[in-house]
A = this chain, B = another copy of it.
Amino acid sequence: MPKLGMEPIRKAALVEATIAEIGASGSLDVTVSQIAKRAGVSSALAHHYFGGKEQILQAGMRQVLADFGAKVRAALVASKGPRGRVDAIIAASFEVGNFRRDVVAAWLNFYVLAQTSPDASRLLVVYQRRMHSNLVYALKPLIGVRAPDVARGIAAMIDGVYIRQALHGGTPDSNGARSLVQDYLDMCLRDQA
Contact = CB atoms under 8 A, between A and B. Distances in A.
Contact of A105 (B27, B115, B169, B183): B115
Interface residues of A, number: 41
B160 A156 contact: yes
12 contacts: A26-B115, A105-B115, A111-B163, A121-B169, A153-B180, A153-B184, A155-B160, A156-B157, A156-B160, A159-B159, A160-B160, A187-B187
A156 B167 contact: no
Copies of this chain, complex-wide, total: 2
B115 A104 contact: yes
Interface string A149-191: 1001101111111011001010000000000100110111011
A187 B193 contact: yes
